[in-house]
Amino acid sequence: MYFMMICTWAPEDEREVRTRRATWDWPEDVEVISEFYDLQGCRTIYVVKTDAKGLIAARAAWIDILEFEIFPVYPIGVTKEALMGK
């Protein structure tokens, strides 16, 4: 299933988030479809393909510093065509 993850952090945690992200890898059972950094700062947006176990694993290392907004999504249009062609 596809999920959108919006991850937000406090401005004072920016350095810690960047430091952790440099050495952190996504769990094996999480396929990242797309990822974006909000140019206004302190937020990243991901679309991932995984299950509940993958969502829990992806959040585990970050739960102390990030706020997560996660919801299921379904691709449409050109995105659906691109993903279904995989």
pLDDT digits (tens, 9 = 90+) for 9-24: 999 999 999 999 999 9
CATH number of the domain located at residue range(s) 2-84 in this protein: 3.30.70
Residues 27, 15: Cα–Cα separation, whole Å: 22
* β partners of residue 68: 7
Q: Tell me the average pLDDT across 33-48.
A: 95
Half-sphere exposure of 66 (CA within 13 A, CB side): 23
Give per-residue pLDDT as tens, 70-79.
999 998 888 8
User: Would the pTM count as exceeding 0.85?
Assistant: yes
Mean pLDDT confidence for 64-85: 90
User: Average pLDDT for residues 25-46, to the nearest whole number?
Assistant: 95
CA distance 86 to 77: 15
> Cα dist. 81→63, 75, 77, 86 in Å?
34, 8, 6, 9
* Domain parsing of the chain, residue ranges: 2-84
